[in-house]
Amino acid sequence: MLPYKPAPAYKPAPYHPEPQYKEEPKPYAFDYAVKDGYSGADFAANENSDGKQTSGYYKVALPDGRIQTCQVFIVAAVLAVAAAAPAPENPPSYRPAPAYKPAPYHPQPQYKEEPKPYAFDYAVNDKYTGTNFAQNEKSDGHNAEGSYTVALPDGRIQTVKYTADHTNGFNAEVTYEGEANYPEYHPAPAYKPAPAPYKPAPKYQ
């Protein structure tokens, strides 16, 4: 058996501060003016800079008829950048994250739904379309019974009486009323093309 050797102590990577880049200021200049005789708008401005000092002015026509002019002169401030602090000589020792413990499982409670009694019936009898059917059914919550009737295309009335429960399943009794009547078959007349229009023979002289 090999002798036990503890894992080597964790040593974080040495700290290297981000390099600081000094951005040199850039010179610029601009000017603009607006004078609209219809609306009375009258203003202008200009500005120029060598990257360190900025000067310029702007003027505007006031509602009382005066012209307001403002001279601008700005000297750029020098900002000192502090050196980054060196990394500490004794960094904190490595500690693993605590082990994850999932929340205890609690199953959802099971509720037994008690069966409920019910009853319904409906009927449709439309003489215009010939639609004729009906149904009724009732249950005490355990056993169900009912019947439905429908007028068949051959003229008979079909009646189905049924019962259903958890022991015997679904049982139906089918009966018919009336006699089946089928319309007499009449084949479609054979197609006969219309005679061609009469054209007399040409006369030659």
pLDDT in tens, 67-104: 888 887 776 554 433 334 455 566 667 778 888 888 89
The reply to whether 74 falls in a domain is yes
Same domain membership, residue 86 and residue 20: yes
- In terms of C-beta distances under 8 Å and separation of at least 24 residues, what long-range contacts does 7-13 make, across chains too? 9/93, 9/94, 10/93, 10/94, 11/91, 12/91, 12/94
User: Total domain count for the chain?
Assistant: 2
Over residues 109-154, the pLDDT tens digits come to 888 888 899 999 999 999 898 899 999 999 999 999 999 999 999 9
The predicted pLDDT at position 64 comes to: 86
The reply to whether 203 falls in a domain is no
Strand ranges (E), 78-168: 118-126, 131-139, 144-151, 157-165
The reply to whether 26 falls in a domain is yes
The reply to whether 77 falls in a domain is yes
Same domain membership, residue 122 and residue 160: yes
- What strands, in cross-sheet order, belong to the sheet with 169-177? 118-126, 131-139, 144-151, 157-165, 169-177
Domain containing 123 equals 118-177
**Range in 62-71, 115-124, 161-170 the model is least confident about:** 62-71
- Whether residue 183 has pLDDT greater than 60: yes
Tokens standing for residue 111: 């509720």
Same domain membership, residue 61 and residue 126: no
The reply to whether 8 falls in a domain is no
In this structure, which amino acid lies at residue 100? Y
Q: Which residues pair with 67 in a beta bridge?
A: 61
The predicted pLDDT at position 150 comes to: 96
The reply to whether 135 falls in a domain is yes
Same domain membership, residue 24 and residue 78: yes
Same domain membership, residue 83 and residue 140: no
